[in-house]
């Protein structure tokens, strides 16, 4: 039985969507400091090359990073362009990422914005796409003193109706309403 061109296109479409879902879960896992969610994006034998700071087991990286992430200030990872090349049970993936992190330095807050790319080798094992090897490319960075005043005062961050993000499962994104 031969597979039609339409079926091949549908399988490729589904593979790309599954890979995009892993990328989104990985970004969410970092921002929520959710080790379980992060590990679900990597195979147990996956490698993480996180610039000059880490090169080794992805799961060990998660174990070490989550505690540090919880101590950091506000953090957000934004996924941008994604290029996915499928090659059988392997996919070569480049995803542009813009990160925002607030650091406390010398008694004041500093906001750092970084443009980076994750260059990943995904593999499909037992029908499931996950990251097998990730390398980060750092393209640019901009640090500046924090000057948060919530849209020139349009929002009152003290208002009890104002929801703030949380690096825990207390975050609104884990709630079902």
What is the structure's pLDDT at 1?
Answer: 47
Query: Are the beta carbons of 51 and 138 closer than 8 angstroms?
Result: yes
The residues spanned by each domain of the chain are 5-174
The arrangement of secondary structure in 5-174, i.e. its CATH architecture, is Roll (3.10)
The predicted-structure confidence for 89-132, as pLDDT tens digits, reads as follows 999 999 999 999 999 888 899 999 999 999 999 999 999 999 99
C-alpha dihedral (104, 70, 150, 162), degrees to nearest 10: -150
Distance CA 97, CA 143 (A): 16
The predicted-structure confidence for 73-83, as pLDDT tens digits, reads as follows 999 999 999 99
Mean pLDDT taken over the chain = 93
Distance CA 174, CA 1 (A): 44
pTM: 0.90
């Amino acid at each position: 039985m031969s597979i039609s061109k339409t079926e091949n296109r549908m399988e490729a479409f589904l593979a790309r969507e599954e890979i995009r879902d892993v990328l989104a879960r990985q970004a969410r896992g970092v921002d929520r400091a959710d080790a379980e969610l992060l590990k679900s994006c990597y195979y147990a034998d996956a490698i993480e090359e996180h610039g000059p700071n880490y090169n080794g087991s992805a799961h060990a990286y998660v174990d070490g990073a989550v505690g540090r992430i919880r101590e950091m200030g506000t953090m957000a990872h934004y996924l941008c362009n994604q290029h996915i090349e499928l090659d059988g049970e392997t996919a070569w993936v480049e995803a542009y990422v813009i990160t925002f992190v607030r650091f406390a330095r010398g008694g004041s807050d500093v906001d750092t914005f970084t443009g980076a790319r994750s260059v990943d080798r995904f593999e499909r094992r037992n029908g499931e796409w996950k990251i097998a090897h990730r390398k980060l490319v750092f393209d640019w960075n901009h640090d500046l003193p924090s000057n948060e005043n919530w849209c020139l005062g349009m929002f009152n961050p003290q208002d009890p109706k104002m929801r703030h993000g949380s690096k825990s499962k207390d975050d609104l994104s884990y709630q079902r309403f």
